[in-house]
Amino acid sequence: MNLEHVVMPLVRSRGWITFLAVAAFVNAGLQILGSFGLAIVIAWLPIWIGVLLVQASSAIGRYELNLTEEDMQEGMEKIAMAFKVTSVWIIVTVALVILVFLFFFSAIMMLLGGGVA
């Protein structure tokens, strides 16, 4: 069964996959710079996403040249893993935002005299 028509949208999107990889690396750098190095705790997640997307783009490119099922499978597996890591990154980021919000809210309440006992 020829699945060429099924994978062609992914092949045509290879440039966008590479763009997202570069954007993930830039995001990690900006997180580290913007937090004066403190974001290194979570900056490895977008770096990992970038690496996975570069690997996916490379595998898809090999598929485009060789038309081997293994290359396309590797590319799709890397994209699937990038989705999983992105989901973890979002969960961690939202949790950190909530913690920071609670910290600042409690600090403001203490400054205004309504502090917690």
The chain-wide mean pLDDT, for the chain, equals 88
Helix or strand run (H / E) with residue 35: none
Pairwise CA distance, residues 2 & 105, whole Å:
58
Residue type, 7: V
For the chain, what are the domain ranges?
Answer: 4-86
User: Treating both helix axes as pointing N-terminal to C-terminal, what angle do 40-66 and 4-12 enclose, rounded to 10 degrees?
Assistant: 130
Instruction: Report the pLDDT value the prediction gives residue 88, as an integer from 0 to 100.
Output: 92
Whether the per-residue pLDDT at 115 is higher than 60: the answer is: no
**Model pTM?**
0.79
38-93: pLDDT as tens digits: 677 778 889 999 999 999 999 999 998 888 889 999 999 999 999 999 999 899 88
* Percentage of the chain exceeding pLDDT 90: 51
Residue 52 has a CB neighbour count (10 Å cut-off) of 23
Instruction: Report the pLDDT value the prediction gives residue 38, as an integer from 0 to 100.
Output: 67
